[in-house]
Amino acid sequence: MLKGKFKPFWTKNNYILGSWKLHENPLSGFKINQKNKNIFENNINAYINHDVAEKFIIFAEKKFKLKHTVVALNKMVPGQILPFHTDLYQTYIKKNKIKNKKDIIRIIVFLHDSQPGHQLWIGDKFCTGHAGSYFGWHYGQEHMAANLGKKDRYTLQITGLKK
């Protein structure tokens, strides 16, 4: 698991404003246990915003030294969950002609301080922190995210390949 912290360089408007869209098919793109799918199906979802400020893209490429970097903003409103799952990265792999999936890295950056009920688990590790805290994993790692709190949860999602 990757983890660290840096000083935030953004304002709230850099991530709250923009074009938020609910994932059209939230169950595509990852492998999920069928029992969990049946239990949580009505709440599985999150909002995504690909209209990302240039400062986030430059930061992602320089800070994490990745290639084929893709950056998106994620928002989970109270009650939304992504139960334990493994990302398949099908579009990313196809678009970038990836041969070794094990080189894919996903990093989540907290854009604001964690609030009660905001969840990120990577395997059996609960990940929490202040704005600027980040956590990441390599292809094949099971993880989950949820907003079981009272306030919206905003994160920066970075996907890339080790150089």
CATH code at position 95? 2.60.120.10
What phi and psi values does residue 157 have, to the nearest 5 degrees?
-110, 125
β-pairing, 2-5 with 133-138? antiparallel
Q: Which residues constitute the domain of residue 108?
A: 2-162
Per the model's pLDDT, the better-predicted residue between 36 and 143 turns out to be 143
The residues, ordered by sequence, that sit 6+ positions from 119 with a Cβ below 8 Å of its Cβ are: 126, 144, 145, 146, 147, 148
The answer to whether residues 96 and 159 touch, using CB atoms and an 8 Å cutoff, is no
Query: Tokens representing 64?
Result: 């994490």
Q: Residue 83 has which token pair?
A: 């139960």
Q: What is the pLDDT of residues 7-26, one digit of tens each?
A: 999 999 999 988 898 876 66
Model confidence pLDDT, tens digit, residues 57-112:
999 989 999 999 999 999 999 999 999 999 999 999 999 999 999 999 999 999 99
pLDDT given at position 23: 78
Coil vs helix vs strand at 69:
strand
Give the ranges where the chain is alpha helix by DSSP (H): 13-16, 34-40, 54-64, 90-96
Show the CA angle centred on residue 28, arms to residues 27 and 31, nearest 5°: 80
pTM for the structure as a whole: 0.93
pLDDT at position 162 is 84
Domain count, the chain: 1
